[in-house]
Copies of this chain bind each other. A is one copy, B any other.
Amino acid sequence: MLTGINPEQKMEKHIYKETIGELEDKLSDLQQKVREAGLPVVIVFEGWSSSGKGTHMARVVNPLDPRYFDVRTTGKITQDKEMRPFLWSYWSYLPPAGQIVIMDKSWHRLILPEWRDAWGLSHTEVNGFYFDVNAFERQLSDDGCLIIKLFLHISKEEQHKRFKALEKDPSTAWRVTEYDWEQNKNYEHYLHLYEKILNMTNKEDNPWHIIETNDRRFATHKIMKTIINALENRLNASETPKPEKARREKIPQILRSVSPDESMGHKEYNDELEHYQQKLKNMTNKMYARRRSAIIVYEGWDAAGKGGNIKRLTSEIDPRCYAVVPIGPPRIYEKTRQYLWRFMVKMPKDGHLTIFDRSWYGRVLVERVEELTPAHIWQRAYREINEFEQHLVGHGSVLLKFWLHIDKDEQLRRFEDRQNDPHKQHKITEEDWRNREKWDLYEAAVDEMLMKTHHSHSPWIIVESNSKRYARIKVLQTVTDALEDALR
């Protein structure tokens, strides 16, 4: 993409007719419309050192209302980032509906040597990660986010000239680093790397726009025009076409084939509990020392015993090493972002363990059954979830997903128990009874979820939970074994 483009392109009157003032007015109007339309916008500034990212960002934000945009500098590798999946920090920067985020550098850095090293990725792994990056962008577009990707191109000679000029002025000399000079000296090598980045991530929905920056005036005009065109196209686009109806699929009845009836005596339970809790404590210590993280997902029927099960899992672990994240309906500020956002920002640092009490699977369970989300959106979610989990596991996290399974009779017994015990009455609500009426619908949803999102690297484990004792030991043992495996 770059090799065909001459960064020396000069500003000539006939190319761009509008004045900067006119472009600024347009941009200011468009920002208002973005807000009204509730459109989230990400503008990515990538490119060579000294291609003028800062200056041109300043031009772009100049006409904007500061309440509705943010500039995010993403170009530094911090410990906080290194200790989490590569895309984690970018997720955290995403704009809510109606806001514009301008990113100084972006997830496309991945391929550059220092970034690769920070995450300890081989060349092959980097290529694998590109699938994650493209999936990330596609998921954002599917969710309605507009991504405008600008690559600021400059010639070797012009870059050299600019470095020299910066170095001459004491107030800017510090800006030119050793890395910058290395880039200039090995210009052709970096050209090749950039070319590869651009080629691997240039998609129809999210194309790259190359900006020739040797002539600053030309660059300013082209950047402003590119952004204006992208915003106008999106805002004027007619309704997105109704997605075709999903093909009816045959889903095997998985849950019905599993009897939740297992049992365990008191004595055996106590022995096993102590054994596995001690072993798990040990394993989490080792995970901490070896900087490995784990993610445990709990899903299951109402009254299946998630709370008590989690308590047994965590009670011997150092509380500084784990967190339990309870998931309820999304808050307002969570709803204005892609639905995976609120989960990604909670992901554990390396060395830590995060337990989700309900999870991102809400989209294909409660949101599907209660019709809170249109069908084509929750149907899309299986793939999104698989990609999301792939990225977590690719980072080296252990990921386990438990479905706590009881049968309908057992649930009734527990509901009635709760109703009759004054200490437990707060645990049972009208909603629980309503959910119970939809048992069959939930069962179908669970079956489809199990079928489409079970993978050897992120397995579903059905936990027979009619006996709480049995269920607790099964989870403890499964987690302990998985961590032991991971540490081997």
Could you show 28 A-B contacts with beta carbons less than 8 Å apart? Answer: A54-B319, A54-B320, A57-B318, A58-B315, A58-B316, A58-B319, A61-B319, A62-B311, A62-B315, A65-B307, A66-B310, A66-B314, A66-B324, A66-B326, A66-B357, A67-B357, A70-B323, A71-B320, A78-B80, A79-B79, A102-B319, A104-B320, A171-B282, A171-B289, A172-B285, A174-B289, A175-B285, A333-B333
The answer on a CB contact under 8 Å between A67 and B323 is no
**Interface residue A73 (Cβ < 8 Å from any Cβ of B):** yes
**Interface residue A286 (Cβ < 8 Å from any Cβ of B):** yes
Once bound together, how far apart are the Cα atoms of A311 and B62, in whole Å? 7
The answer on a CB contact under 8 Å between B171 and A58 is no
Contacts of A174 in B (CB 8 A): 289
The answer on a CB contact under 8 Å between B171 and A57 is no
Contacts of A61 in B (CB 8 A): 319
Those of A261-320 within 8 Å (CB) of chain B: 282, 285-286, 289, 307, 310-311, 314-320
Once bound together, how far apart are the Cα atoms of A307 and B65, in whole Å? 9
Once bound together, how far apart are the Cα atoms of A439 and B447, in whole Å? 66
The answer on a CB contact under 8 Å between A73 and B324 is no
Q: Which of B80, B104, B320, B357 is close to A73, meaning CB atoms less than 8 Å apart? A: B320
3 tightest CB-CB pairs across the interface, nearest first? A66-B324, A67-B326, A54-B318
* 12 further interface pairs, Cβ-Cβ under 8 Å (given A62-B311, A66-B314, A172-B285): A54-B319, A55-B318, A57-B318, A57-B319, A58-B316, A58-B319, A66-B326, A71-B320, A71-B323, A102-B319, A171-B286, A174-B289
Once bound together, how far apart are the Cα atoms of A57 and B314, in whole Å? 12
Once bound together, how far apart are the Cα atoms of A163 and B73, in whole Å? 43
Q: Which of B57, B65, B78, B324 is close to A320, meaning CB atoms less than 8 Å apart? A: B57
Once bound together, how far apart are the Cα atoms of A314 and B63, in whole Å? 11
Closest-CB distance, A358 to chain B (whole angstroms): 11
Once bound together, how far apart are the Cα atoms of A326 and B70, in whole Å? 12
The answer on a CB contact under 8 Å between B79 and A317 is no
The answer on a CB contact under 8 Å between A319 and B71 is yes
Chain A 174-207, CB within 8 Å of chain B: the 1/0 string?
Answer: 1100000000000000000000000000000000
* Residue ID in chain B nearest A32 by CB atoms: B426
* Residue ID in chain B nearest A352 by CB atoms: B73
Once bound together, how far apart are the Cα atoms of A448 and B319, in whole Å? 47
Contacts of A175 in B (CB 8 A): 285
Chain A 322-333, CB within 8 Å of chain B: the 1/0 string?
Answer: 011010000101
Once bound together, how far apart are the Cα atoms of A172 and B326, in whole Å? 30
Those of A380-437 within 8 Å (CB) of chain B: none
The answer on a CB contact under 8 Å between A58 and B285 is no
Once bound together, how far apart are the Cα atoms of A126 and B61, in whole Å? 41
Once bound together, how far apart are the Cα atoms of A228 and B351, in whole Å? 32
Contacts of A80 in B (CB 8 A): 78, 80
Once bound together, how far apart are the Cα atoms of A130 and B175, in whole Å? 37
Closest-CB distance, A321 to chain B (whole angstroms): 8
Chain A 42-85, CB within 8 Å of chain B: the 1/0 string?
Answer: 00000000000011011001100111001101000011100000
Closest-CB distance, A1 to chain B (whole angstroms): 26
Once bound together, how far apart are the Cα atoms of A58 and B316, in whole Å? 7
* Residue ID in chain B nearest A349 by CB atoms: B73
Once bound together, how far apart are the Cα atoms of A64 and B192, in whole Å? 56
Chain A 442-459, CB within 8 Å of chain B: the 1/0 string?
Answer: 000000000000000000
Contacts of A323 in B (CB 8 A): 70-71
* Residue ID in chain B nearest A102 by CB atoms: B319
Contacts of A318 in B (CB 8 A): 54-55, 57-58
